[in-house]
Amino acid sequence: MNKTALIIGVTGQDGSYLAQLLLNKGYTVYGTTRDSGIANFNNLKSLAISDDVIVLSMAPNDFRSVIQVVSKVKPDEIYNLSGQSSVSLSFEQPVEALESILGATVNILEVIRISGANIRFYNAGSSEIFGDTNGARATEETPFRPLSPYAVAKAAAYWQVASYRSAYNLFASTGILFNHESPLRPRRFVTRKIVTTAVEISRGTKSKLELGNINVQRDWGWAPEYVDAMWRMLQLDTPSDFVVATGRTVSLAYFIEKVFSCLGLDWKNYVSSVTSHRRPIEFDIGLADPSRARSILKWEAKITVDKIIEKLVECELKSEKLI
């Protein structure tokens, strides 16, 4: 029998790729956005699935709204990909970070618990919860040292999910995802900002690129592969949390250099690091050990950072958003 999935926050990068994956698997896919009357469906449109996803309005931090949608859809699986997703923005809107991430997670868990239905729940976690690991690769056992309001909210949501799983025996799991990129990323994230600006520079419509701290090192993966890990987590016999990453970390300077060299440009002529783009606090190096996902989910990131750069530049040059 066909399964029904509810993707909360379907219009974002991950929501759109997940909807595509689930549609391909034969799911009936419902998706929510705060106000479907005014939402931006560009990501769903660029994947050519906007007519296939049934979109509903839902405010995840409004309990009534969540219960109404879940009762109507009767999903087998719920994926919560909603809420603030920018670490940088969370320093400016810390309450919004907490409410949109933690408030939504508790509402969804409560609705699942009260409904008594056999619903599997995926919670979008983040590697930001680890903060500075002092050079150690983060695993599912690594202690949390969140540094931003975003990371604090994600850490709290993680523990809510773990608590509901133990207390009420819910099938609820958190994917602790490291950075994952695609052409569907908005420009507020650094990879898209670099690629779009570098292409503009190559076309002569921009002359410089201002960034914050370019010495940070991150584990960057390919978003369409990461949504497959989310799905796999809900197909297990028992719920469990997983680190999802490539296992390879590079510096932002490396990323910038490669993007510019794809376009035949020397980045040093165009890029500067300015204090206004720096965050009040952040950690330098993000390192991951995704071996548990490899052994239990049978999931592995196949697309390397060099390939990601190539794909992003190629898509930007064609100004298309398809993978």
- Give the footprint of ligand F7E on this chain (CB under 6 A): 85, 87-88, 126-128, 178-179, 188-190, 193, 211-214, 216, 218, 252, 277, 279, 282
Shortest Cβ distance from residue 162 to ligand F7E (Å)?
18
Give the nearer residue to ligand F7E in terms of CB position, either 114 or 284: 284
Q: Rounded to the nearest 5°, which phi and psi values hold at 139?
A: -120, -175
Sign of the CA dihedral with 239 first, then 4, 81, and 229 last? positive
Give the nearer residue to ligand F7E in terms of CB position, either 76 or 282: 282
Sign of the CA dihedral with 70 first, then 72, 78, and 80 last? negative
Shortest Cβ distance from residue 152 to ligand F7E (Å)?
13
Q: What is the DSSP string of 220-269?
A: -EEHHHHHHHHHHHHTSSS---EEE--S--EEHHHHHHHHHHHTT--GGG
276 is annotated as an active-site residue: no
Catalytic site residue from 90, 126, 127, 202: 126
Sign of the CA dihedral with 249 first, then 253, 254, and 260 last? positive
Catalytic site residue from 77, 128, 257, 316: 128
Which of 165, 124, 139, 132 lies closest to 243, judged by CA? 139
148 is annotated as an active-site residue: no
Catalytic site residue from 30, 79, 150, 270: 150
Shortest Cβ distance from residue 228 to ligand F7E (Å)?
17
Task: Using DSSP bridges, classify how beta strands 54-57 and 28-33 pair: parallel, antiparallel or unpaired.
Answer: parallel
C-alpha neighbours within 13 Å on the C-beta side of residue 260: 19
Give the nearer residue to ligand F7E in terms of CB position, either 178 or 222: 178
Shortest Cβ distance from residue 300 to ligand F7E (Å)?
19
126 is annotated as an active-site residue: yes
Give the nearer residue to ligand F7E in terms of CB position, either 75 or 125: 125
For the annotated catalytic residues, the residue numbers are 126, 128, 150
